[in-house]
Amino acid sequence: MVDDLARFIDKAKEFGALDAKLIKADTIKTGAWVRMKCHFGCGHYNTSFSCPPHTPAPRETQEVIDCYGTALLVHCQQIGDPTEVVIKLEREIFLAGYYKALAYGAGPCRICEECNVQQCNHPRQSRPSMESCGIDVYATVRANGFPIAVVKDRASEQNYYGLVLIE
pLDDT tens profile 109-152: 888 888 888 888 888 888 999 999 999 999 999 999 999 999 88
Mean pLDDT within 90-118: 92
Of 41, 30, 43, the closest CA to residue 108 belongs to 43
Q: Residue 80 pLDDT > 70, yes or no?
A: no
Residues near 13 by beta carbon (within 8 Å), at least 6 away in sequence: 19, 20
Number of domains making up the chain: 1
pLDDT level of residue 76 (50, 70, 90 thresholds): very high
How confident is the model at residue 48, as a pLDDT?
87
Confidence (pTM): 0.93
- Whether 15 and 92 have beta carbons less than 8 Å apart is answered as no
The boundaries of the domain holding residue 67 are 2-166
How confident is the model at residue 111, as a pLDDT?
87
Q: What is the 3-state secondary structure (H, E, C) of the chain?
A: CHHHHCHHHHHHHHCCCCEEEEEEHHHCCECHHHHHHHHCCCCCCCCCCCCCCCCCCHHHHHHHHCCCCEEEEEEECCCCHHHHHHHHHHHHHHHCCCCCCEEEECCCCCCCCCCCCCCCCCCCCCCCECHHHCECHHHHHHHCCCCCCCCCCCCCCCCEEEEEEEC
How confident is the model at residue 61, as a pLDDT?
97
pLDDT tens profile 1-46: 667 899 999 999 999 999 999 999 999 999 999 999 988 988 888 8
